[in-house]
Amino acid sequence: MTPTQILCVGHAALDRVFAVDAWPTGSAKIVASRFDESGGGMGANAAVAAARLGARVAFWGPTGDDATADVIAAQLRDEGVDVHNLRRLPGVRSSSSAVLIDARGERLVVGFRSEALHSPADWLPLHAVSGVDAVLADVRWPEGAAAVLQAARERNVHAILDGEVAERDVLERLLSCAQHVVFSERGLSVLSADVEGGLRLALARGAELAAVTRGERGVLWIEKGRPERTHHCPAYTVNAIDTLAAGDVFHGAYALAIAQRRDIEHAMRFASAAAAIKCTRPGGRGGAPTLAEVETFLQHAR
């Protein structure tokens, strides 16, 4: 059987993760109990998540031309992600973040976003979009996201947007290109303080499905043609120790399920299970589960 093929587009970064008891509110020095250096960036993390779940994945996006870019590319390759269109821009620094994880699993991120994310997308081989089963784009590289999502919709390929926090005009632009939009709560709040109002606005702008992930409160979504009904997928109860990259894992798993033409309820349960498993593990994308792990989790969760 040919593996499901997914294209992820957007942000690739390098995270330096420190585990601490808590972070202070004022000036202080604190000691980390654990340190890890791992790949980051929403689109790149989702790419790794989908690859671990068995998909054949390519990542398209810009980085700087520095030692950080070397590590970013090597880590993606090690996970089986095709990085032929991970483009290095001369004279530009790559994205990097310092991440603090507290004893409850919550995170504080200080991130430097590369100037590369403001670059044009005219170099993308958009003809290749017709050869994949789904595309997933994040909001960090708007030019690339808009080009690939639009190309996907023109070719009847599933076009999924990770609706994280961005400037409102960026979100509005990308909503008109995406078929499915899965927001974080903070991302949706850019559009509206009212959850259902924000989801309906996304449908009005052109999406066919709009969802919002809400952590331990599960996922809400509405679908075009049935806007009067709000659907809910409860969250799975786990002992969460680290939420870093959980949203990205959700998006990668959701993209895989949609690419395989699963129904929406199944896709939400599958993605929720993958994200829940990730939350029980330290680190970012390194905690993304395999397909066997998700299937076993779902069997025991019933």
Per-residue pLDDT tens digits for 181-240: 999 999 999 999 999 999 999 999 999 999 999 999 999 999 998 767 899 999 999 998
Q: Is residue 18 part of a domain?
A: yes
Q: How far apart are CA 249 and CA 247, in angstroms?
A: 5
pTM over 0.85: yes
Q: Is residue 120 part of a domain?
A: no
Instruction: Produce one character per residue of 18-40: b if its CB has 16 or more CB atoms within 10 Å, e if not.
Output: bbbeeeeeeeeeeeeeeebebbb
Q: Is residue 123 part of a domain?
A: no
Q: Is residue 95 part of a domain?
A: yes
Q: Is residue 261 part of a domain?
A: yes
* Domain that residue 12 falls in: 5-23+32-115+133-301
- Tally of structural domains, the chain: 1
**Would you say residue 1 has pLDDT above 80?**
no
Average pLDDT over residues 28-43: 91
Q: Is residue 262 part of a domain?
A: yes
pLDDT for the residue numbered 2? 82
Report the CATH number that the domain containing residue 54 is assigned in CATH.
Answer: 3.40.1190.20
pLDDT for the residue numbered 196? 93
Average pLDDT over residues 234-260: 94
pLDDT for the residue numbered 181? 98
Q: Is residue 167 part of a domain?
A: yes
Q: Is residue 125 part of a domain?
A: no
